[in-house]
Structure formats: structure tokens, C-alpha cells
Amino acid sequence: MKGIEEPLSAAGIVGGKVLSLKVPASSANLGPGFDSLGVALNLYMEVQAEISGKWKVTALSDSLTGFPGDEKNFICQIAMQTAEMYKQVMPSLHISVKSEIPLARGLGSSAAAIVAGVELASEFCGLQLGRHEKLAVASRFEGHPDNAGASLFGGVIVGSQIGDEVDLTVLDQIQFDPVLVVPKEELLTETSRDVLPAAVDFQRSVQASAVANQLLAA
């Protein structure tokens, strides 16, 4: 599998109310880079959207068939909430979605959906958001910038978020071939975070910072 992947791509004629998106998967929490280091991967979620009289989501992949087929769908919710942030009303869309990103396996499926929803709002509401603005919105939904940043910018990203302030550095001149071990069992992010300690010893945090610095230097 190719490790360094291109960022989100969008094509179509929004004036004609048709838009196609291709959002890459991502892996994050790389080594000691918890909530801060991510990489885009060449697995994709593809979305095609057009103006419709009512919300409709058509699943083109078996893994997506259990999700809502109306405005309750996660992508639709993100699009509507993003539009509301900018005091706009999101038009109803017919969205077709197919994805080769394994769900709930740590490969950024939810971040890809968030990035898609933000992009739909930006395009169909005429928000004209820049990539850093999209990152700030997506990170607000995600709570951290690593997966969404990788999907938006491609390559390896180093991100930080303090309050609503998001900073990102993109390392796009690195080439490597990752090997992914995808478990059969699903593990939701919320569940996995429940096992984390509420606090980390100072010396342990210093060591983690040093290891993270060494990883970036390498």
C-alpha cells in the first residue's frame, strides 16, 4: 500500500448542482504522536451529490447499507451543521456514497465523512472555505486535527489544536509503504479512549515528547 497519498479532491459543476468528492483514508496517533501525527492512505470514500427535493443517501458499498438513508446520515448532519455555523441553510441533496475504508478500524472513516460533509456545505452553500478553514471546522467536529488534516492535505501531517486554534505542518516529500493490520472486530473511537488515563506522570510525558521529536527527526 502506498503511504503518502494525495489530499481531498473535488470535481463537478456546482452551478449545475453536481459534485464528486474523493476523500482518502488516514491513520493517526502515529507512534507517540497522539492526536497530532497522521498520514493519508490510498483507500477512499467517494461521494457524489446533487440538489434534490429531499435528503436521500444511496449506499453503494455493502459496509454502508446499515446507515440512515436520509438527513440523519452522518455526512448530511455534518453538512447541515457546517452551513449553520456560517448562518446558511444547507439545501437538500441526493448523495451517493461508496467507500473502501474499513469502518471503526482506526483508518479515519469518520474523519473522511466529516471532511466530505464540510466540503458539501462549502460548495453548495457558496461558503468558499479555504483548506485551513475546512480543517478548523473538521477539527472542531473531530476534536483533533490528525485524521481530518491528513484527508484534507495529504501526505504526513503534524497538527496541534489549542481551543479553536489549529496549526498544521504537511510533510509531503516522504515516501514509505505502510503495512496495515485490520482487525475483524470493530472498535469505536469513543470506546478506545475510555481506557486512557486521565493524567500522565510528568517524567513520562517528557519521555513521550522526546520520542516524538526523534520520530520527526528520523
Binned at pLDDT 50, 70 and 90, residue 173 comes out as confident
pLDDT at residue 36, rounded to an integer: 87
Is the model's pLDDT at 93 over the cut of 70? yes
Q: What is the mean pLDDT of the chain?
A: 88
Query: What are φ and ψ of residue 64, in 5° steps?
Result: -105, 0
Query: What is the CATH class of 9-217?
Result: alpha beta
- Rounded Cα gap, residues 147 and 27, in angstroms: 7
pLDDT at residue 124, rounded to an integer: 96
* Pairing outcome for strands 56-59 and 156-162: unpaired
Q: What average pLDDT does the segment 140-165 reach?
A: 90
pLDDT at residue 198, rounded to an integer: 85
β-pair partners for 58: 96
Question: Which range among 28-32, 54-58, 187-191, 193-197 has the greatest average pLDDT?
Answer: 54-58
What are 170's three cell numbers?
A: 504537511
Q: What is the pTM of this model?
A: 0.86
Q: Cell 483548506, residue?
A: 131
Is the model's pLDDT at 14 over the cut of 80? no
What are 40's three cell numbers?
A: 493519508
Percent residues over pLDDT 70 in the chain: 92
Q: At what angle do helices 146-153 and 131-142 cross, to 10 degrees?
A: 150
Is the model's pLDDT at 88 over the cut of 90? yes
Q: What average pLDDT does the segment 2-6 reach?
A: 56
Rg (CA), the chain: 18
Q: What angle do CA 13, 154, 133 make, to 5 degrees?
A: 65
What are 193's three cell numbers?
A: 479512549
Asked whether 33 and 26 are in contact (CB, 8 A), the reply is no
